[in-house]
Structure 1
Amino acid sequence: MESATIETTDGVKLSARIFKPADPRISDYVVVLVHPFTVLGGFQGLLRGIASGLADKGFRAVTFDMRGAGRSSGRPSFTGFSEIEDVVAVCKWVSDTLSPRGIVLVGSSAGAPIAGSAVDKIEQVVGYVSLGYPFGWAASILFGRHHESILRSQKPKLFVMGTKDGFTSVKQLQNKLKSAAGRVETRLLEGVGHFQMEGPDYDAHMVDLISQFIQSLQS
């Protein structure tokens, strides 16, 4: 694992970590992971298990603290709009430094709408994975303005959610995705809650789903 500091266009310094495979046959794709809501304690360490698992599968993975989280400077926002710039800055750094064939953006919980709003701002992003996108009514008060960006994107999308997610019901997810453009896939984890899916017990399963999605992009 390597560390890096990435600066945004508005001067925020982001703390990032790069996870690389031990096998020298490195995949051409890089996975950038966007952590849950900073205001509720989200930081990049929550995604370390998934990033490590992806490296074990042969993918380079990057985690980072969004503004105001962990060792990053700046202040977090309640709606996640300032944090879009963080995602764009990290993906630009990845593109310039790691020279990937493509970037796959993965957002967890509140990181999903933030990542979704960044997808079409970055040419090198070739796919998007949501882990527990908060589409529900209450969560939409904060993140509702992010929905349109990912739903109208033509880039391939995978939405992973537990059927007992406390923020979004299966019906709400399905209704939202009816209007989604391009290739859209869903994976539902029966009986699993929102925070349960975020826990380390499900890291390996998330790694498998992300890996399968990336492999499908290559075919």
Structure 2
Amino acid sequence: MSNYTVESTKVETSDGAKLHTRLFKPIEEGDVKDNLVIVLVHPFSILGGCQALLKGIAAGLAEKGYKAVTFDMRGAGAPIAGSAVDEIREAVGYVSIGYPFGMFASILFGRHHKAVLNSPKPKLFVMGTRDGFTSVKQLQNKLSSAVGRVETHLIEGASHFQMEGPEFDNQMVNLILPFISSL
């Protein structure tokens, strides 16, 4: 039996779209840590990204005492979250798993790259060494110009899509937790 609950709801956007959301939280309200809510943004929808991919990480964070929210974005993906970091005053940090910094991704998402790299808020970038969208060298080059505190964790031999799978969920939770506690 799990020690977290999931509440599903729909949130209506300013233009009338309804987004399906899920809030993962500890069963006991007193077990919630740090009064933080972790917002998890799924990968690019066109490549199969959806909130279901984040269930394991969200559940793992809830089991460790944190509230975590997942939602289905409409036709967009995680790189856009980089632009939101400084637009949302309440956002205190940013964690990226497999952020696409490669050449093709830079053409599509370059303005979002610039926003996250220029944010003074603490950032953690987790990437597999066999990521098909971004090489380790491309990641290092991009992050060398980043403002503020930047941490990197490389997962040896992991590919981009592999890290979205459930076999990496616990590892992602164990990387995210120390970063969150340092904020």
TM-score, normalised by the number of residues in structure 1: 0.78
Q: What is the distance in 2 between the residues matched to 1:139 and 1:39?
A: 13
Asked if 1:145 is matched to 2:150, the reply is: no
Q: 3-state DSSP class of the match of 2:81?
A: helix
How far does residue 7 in structure 1 lie from its aligned partner after superposition?
1.7
Q: What is the distance in 1 between the residues matched to 2:47 and 2:141?
A: 27
Q: Which amino acid aligns with 1:65?
A: D
Q: 3-state DSSP class of the match of 2:168?
A: helix
C-alpha offsets along residues 157-194 of structure 1, whole Å, 9 cap, x if unaligned?
00000111111001100000111001110001111111
Match of 1:15 in 2: 20
Q: What is the distance in 2 between the residues matched to 1:41 and 1:159?
A: 21
Asked if 1:4 is matched to 2:9, the reply is: yes
C-alpha offsets along residues 34-92 of structure 1, whole Å, 9 cap, x if unaligned?
0011112211011000000000110000000012xxxxxxxx2xxx4xxxxxxxxxxxx
Q: What is the distance in 1 between the residues matched to 2:157 and 2:46?
A: 27
Q: Which amino acid aligns with 2:87?
A: K
Asked if 1:26 is matched to 2:46, the reply is: no
Name which of 121, 142, 167 aligns with 2:133: 167
- Calculate the aligned-residue CA RMSD, in Å: 1.1
Range with bigger deviation, 15-24 or 29-38: 15-24
Match of 2:44 in 1: 37
Q: What is the distance in 1 between the residues matched to 2:130 and 2:46?
A: 23
Q: 3-state DSSP class of the match of 1:192?
A: coil
User: Size of the alignment, in residue pairs?
Assistant: 176
- Stretches of structure 1 that go unaligned for 5 or more consecutive residues are 68-75, 81-109
Q: What is the distance in 2 between the residues matched to 1:202 and 1:142?
A: 27
- Decide which structure has greater helix share: 1
Match of 2:145 in 1: 179
Q: 3-state DSSP class of the match of 2:31?
A: coil
Q: What is the distance in 1 between the residues matched to 2:48 and 2:144?
A: 32
C-alpha offsets along residues 103-132 of structure 1, whole Å, 9 cap, x if unaligned?
xxxxxxx41x11111111101000000000
Q: What is the distance in 2 between the residues matched to 1:11 and 1:122?
A: 21
Name which of 50, 59, 74 aligns with 2:66: 59
Q: Which amino acid aligns with 1:25?
A: D
Q: Percent identity?
A: 67
Match of 2:178 in 1: 212
Q: What is the distance in 2 between the residues matched to 1:141 and 1:150?
A: 16
Name which of 88, 110, 115 aligns with 1:122: 88
Q: What is the distance in 2 between the residues matched to 1:140 and 1:192?
A: 21
Q: What is the distance in 2 between the residues matched to 1:172 and 1:9?
A: 37
Q: 3-state DSSP class of the match of 1:194?
A: coil
